[in-house]
């Protein structure tokens, strides 16, 4: 009769499962400085984008102390702040975050369209890229379930806008180098 061999008893710590290494993000040739403009309307939701953005942008080699935070009353006020910040030439990028919901003085579609168009105008006039995490849900109710859903959604958007920001800044850095070298 065959007996199963008993496994030896050891005090060794089990090996952790293989994990993929963290993605290696390229480093910047020059220091970057970002302005993050956040609307305070529904701050507890919108701040999730800021928190996620800061974590992700650090993973992409832009230190937290290179991001200046600004708060405005609502999303409608973001474009003017973005324009004034862009004109200082201090920032290589500006990120906007806000939540536009129905029920204010203006219809939310009007505000959303106006804000997004104005942010695009700022970046085209100043050549400072402006990124938007200004969201306009079709149905938003001030219930715990909706607040919870949109907090999570804004966290995702914070990561996405950090990725877009870093990728664009790298692209612009390469392009400006090529233009300066006469390649383009």
Domain ranges of the chain: 34-180
Q: Average the pLDDT over 122-143 and give the result.
A: 86
Q: Name the residues annotated as catalytic.
A: 107
Instruction: List, in sequence order, the alpha helices (H) in 43-143.
Output: 43-59, 78-87, 108-126
Topology annotation, domain 34-180: Rossmann fold (3.40.50)
pLDDT at position 179 over 80: yes
Q: β-pairing, 130-135 with 67-72?
A: unpaired
Predicted pLDDT at 161 = 97
Q: Average the pLDDT over 136-152 and give the result.
A: 78
Q: Average the pLDDT over 104-121 and give the result.
A: 80
Residue 5 corresponds to which tokens in the numbers above? 């061999």
pLDDT at position 4 over 90: no
Q: Could you tell me the pLDDT band of residue 147, with boundaries at 50, 70 and 90?
A: confident
Q: CA-to-CA distance for 72 and 84, rounded, in angstroms?
A: 13
Predicted pLDDT at 111 = 79
């Amino acid at each position: 009769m065959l007996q199963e061999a008993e496994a030896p008893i050891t005090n060794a710590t089990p090996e952790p499962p293989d994990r993929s290494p963290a993605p290696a993000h390229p480093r910047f040739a020059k220091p970057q400085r970002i302005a993050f403009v956040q609307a305070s309307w529904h701050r507890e939701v919108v701040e999730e984008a800021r928190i996620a953005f800061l974590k992700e942008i650090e993973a992409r080699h832009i230190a937290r102390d290179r991001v200046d935070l600004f708060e405005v009353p609502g999303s409608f006020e973001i474009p003017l702040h973005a324009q004034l910040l862009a004109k200082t030439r201090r920032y290589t990028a500006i990120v906007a975050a806000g939540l536009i919901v129905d029920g204010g003085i203006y219809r939310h579609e009007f505000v959303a369209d106006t804000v997004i168009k104005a942010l695009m105008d700022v970046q085209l006039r100043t050549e400072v890229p402006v990124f938007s995490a200004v969201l306009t849900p079709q149905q938003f109710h001030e219930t715990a379930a909706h607040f919870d859903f949109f907090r999570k959604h804004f966290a995702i958007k914070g990561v996405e806008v950090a990725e877009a920001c870093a990728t664009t800044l790298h692209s612009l850095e390469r392009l400006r180098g090529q233009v300066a070298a006469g390649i383009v």
